[in-house]
Structure formats: structure tokens, C-alpha cells
Amino acid sequence: MALSTSSPASGLPGVTLQGDFSHQHQVLFRDLELRVEAAEWTCLLGPSGVGKSTLLRLLAGLETGGAFTGTIDTDDHFPLQGRVAYMGQADLLAPWLNIHDNVLLGARLRGSAPDHGRAETLIARVGLADHTAKRPAALSGGMRQRVALARALMEDRPFVLLDEPFAALDAKTRAEMQELAFELLAGRTVLLVTHDPSEAARLGHHILIMTANGLNRHPTPSRPPIRPYDAPETLAAQIALMSQLRSQPDA
């Protein structure tokens, strides 16, 4: 079946953000360069308030409340706008719509013809085929986050920005969601903001630590993601990341 849950297009671009950002005359970062590699997962860690979410919002083209001077460049030089899907810590489901209509929210908002068949296939793909007519309030936190994942996939965008999407889930659900998301987002350019070293150690092709002085690249295990949570190299990477984070001054 030619359902495009995987690689949306060949020659997928990566994206580079370069520049300075200040908020109310306070510099949040200067001469920063963020590189998000094509078709891979880049994990971004760092203390709260250091500007991770600001980076994400800049890439998503959202209001940041501050001033950015610099460039956001894609490898194919087409603008990023309209090619980004976003998923946050809150599921952001519309409580008045059922699961099916929530997955189709983008089409509803754009006034374009909804692809009901594809929505149903994606809902089945995240394991919620029996719940498609339910409202979000009837679902658990993990199920709601799976709906949000299906909704992001429905948008079928080459760039996917994830802002701590699994942070509010219990440990078991989180591990399952990481596996599901990694499988379904394969072939897309993903930037994941996370506070969880083990998450970065499992999922990252690239791991970046953001500090007040900029971005530092952290070595990743040689085994490609998604890595088993209990593999020695995953655990070693997790420990190394943790000590790296602990050695950073507070933002």
C-alpha cells in the first residue's frame, strides 16, 4: 500500500539556523549555529530557559516575543514555512472534535478536502482504530499523544519539530511512544527538544547541548537509533550526557 507514513520525498533537505536572538535587550544567544541533518533525528538538550524552545519556535515560524537577526536556510533553499509539523508536550487536541476530526484538523483549518481514508489508516497505525469516534477526554494521556502523532503525520511535512512530546508520559508509555514515533517519522528531518538524557541517547543521530555560550555537539553511540534502552552503549551515552549536563552552569 502506497501510504506515505515514511519518506515523503527524495533529496530531503536539512536546515541550518544561524544568528543572534535577544529578548527585551537581553541576549539569549549570539553567533549560534544550529544544524539539523536531513532525514535524521537531532536531539537538543540544555537547562530550562536557555532558549531551546525559542529555537524551535523560530524554525516553526512562530511568534517568539524577541528579535532574531540571522538566517534560517534549508539545503534546497526553499523556505521552511509550510513544510514544518509541530508536536509539543501538551497534546493540543481540540476537545470538541473526535479523534478522526482531530487528526484532520489541518485540512479543516486550511479548508482543503480532508482525506478520511488516510486519517483512518494513520489512526490505525498508532493503534487507536477502535477509538476513532471518541473525544479526547475519553482517552488516556498516552493515547492522546498518539493522536497528536497521527495528526503530525497527517500533515506529511518533511520537517518535524518535537518539543518534549513524551515528557508528561509514564516511563513505559514514554518508551513505547519513542519507538512508535521513531518508526513512523523515519525519513523525516526531526528536531527533538528534550530534558531526558536517556531519550536523547536512544533516539539521537546527533545530540546537541545548548548552553549560554552556544551549542555543543555531544558524541553519539556508534549503533544507529533507535537504540535499546538497556544496551551498554545507550546507557554509557546516557551517563556521559548526564555528567555533561550537570557540569553546566545554570542558565
Contact window for another protein (CB under 8 A) among 24-32, 53-61, 186-194, 229-237: 53-61
Residue span binding another protein (CB under 8 A) among the ranges 43-51, 102-110, 118-126, 238-246: 102-110
| Residue 41 within binding range of another protein, rule CB under 8 A | no
Q: Indicate if the alpha-carbon torsion angle 156, 126, 93, 144 is positive or negative.
A: negative
Is 90 among the residues that bind another protein (CB under 8 A)? yes
Residues 136-175 within binding reach of another protein (CB under 8 A): 137, 155
Which residues ranging from 221 to 250 are in contact with another protein (CB under 8 A)? none
Among 6, 96, 140, 183, binds another protein (CB under 8 A): 96
How far apart CA 235 and CA 231 sit, in angstroms, is: 6
Binding to another protein by residue 78, rule CB under 8 A?
no
Cross-sheet strand order for the sheet of 84-87:
84-87, 159-163, 189-193, 41-45, 206-211, 214-218
86 binds another protein (CB under 8 A): yes
Q: Cα 103 to the chain's mean position, in Å?
A: 17
| Pairing state between β 67-74 and 84-87 | unpaired
Q: Quick check: 88 binds another protein (CB under 8 A)?
A: yes
Unique residue bearing C-alpha cell 514515533: 181
- Give the β-pairing of 15-23 and 26-36: antiparallel
Kindly state the cell numbers that stand for 223. 549503533
Minimum Å distance from CB 135 to another protein? 5
What count of other Cβ atoms lies within 10 Å of the Cβ of residue 112?
Answer: 10
If we measure between CA atoms, which residue out of 140, 146, 144, 145 comes closest to residue 126?
Answer: 146
For β-strands 159-163 and 84-87, DSSP reports them as parallel
Cβ proximity to another protein: between 81 and 247 the closer is 81
Please identify, among the stretches 5-13, 92-100, 183-191, 210-218, the one whose residues bind another protein according to the rule CB under 8 A: 92-100
Residue 32 or 154 having the CB closest to another protein: 154
Binding flag, residue 66, another protein (CB under 8 A): no
Cis ω before 226 (30° cut-off from 0)? yes
Q: Which stretch binds another protein (CB under 8 A): 6-14, 33-41, 60-68, 191-199?
A: 60-68
Build a one-symbol-per-residue string for 111-130: x at contacts with another protein by CB under 8 A, - elsewhere: x-------------------
Residues in touch with another protein (CB under 8 A):
57, 60-62, 82, 84-86, 88, 90, 92, 94-96, 105-106, 108-111, 135, 137, 155
